Amino acid sequence: MPTGTYEHTGASGVLRLLERFRCAAGGAGWRYTSQLSTGDGRDAGSVDVTLDVHGRQLRVAIVCGGWTVRGGVSGAELRWVRDPAEHGGAETQEHRERAAGFTGISPALLIATAALVPRTGEPFRVRLVALSDVLGARRLDQQWRLTGIESHRVDGAALHVSAYERTDLDTAESQPVHIAGDVLIATTSIGLAALDSPPGPALHELS
């Protein structure tokens, strides 16, 4: 069961959030939980994501910026509700979008999207719902592509790191994403600061 810490940084490289996580395969899929905190140790929320082995976001619950989002993929739709974090959920309006899942906020959502990408290196276009720091939602079209796999020796064992290129189709801006098994190694504004145990198998290896 991998456990560790991610660092979220701003445009100037200043630390914004720490994300202490654990994740593991189990049953018919994969689960990720984390606690968010500010650089000075104040609680900043939580993330709880359950995926099937194909990366489909079955259940997502995120608390951040004073808000809560709960949702998941049902058929071809992503459905969710957004409430103030201390709100009981009464009279909540459900939102819907034809999208493969959420992105933003947590590396768990990048790992989920990467699981959808063909291993052949062919470009893969995907529609997502991007969440802001206060869990505001906007539709986002991206293109992902597996650009290579590198092998490294770590403590005598082989560690395979998959490199992806993700491109925002509205701005044409591209960013690299590096994932080892079920752990994000690095991408723009998020890096792995500590890993207490080795990565688990990649989601495509579970199916």
Give the residue from 197, 130, 199 showing the smallest Cα distance to 162.
199
pLDDT one-digit tens code per residue, 6-55 = 999 987 788 999 999 999 997 779 999 999 999 889 999 999 999 998 88
**DSSP element (H, E) containing 79:** strand 77-84
Weakest-pLDDT range from 36-45, 80-89, 175-184, 192-201: 80-89
- CA dist., res. 100 & res. 96, Å (int): 11
pLDDT one-digit tens code per residue, 72-99 = 999 999 999 999 987 655 567 899 999 9
pLDDT of residue 203: 85
Domain ranges of the chain: 3-205
pLDDT one-digit tens code per residue, 97-125 = 999 999 999 999 999 999 999 999 999 99
Q: Which own/partner pairs from 152-158 qualify as long-range (CB within 8 Å, at least 24 positions apart)?
A: 154/198, 155/198, 157/198
Assess contact for 175 and 191: CB atoms under 8 A: no
Question: Quick one: what percent of the chain has pLDDT higher than 70?
Answer: 94
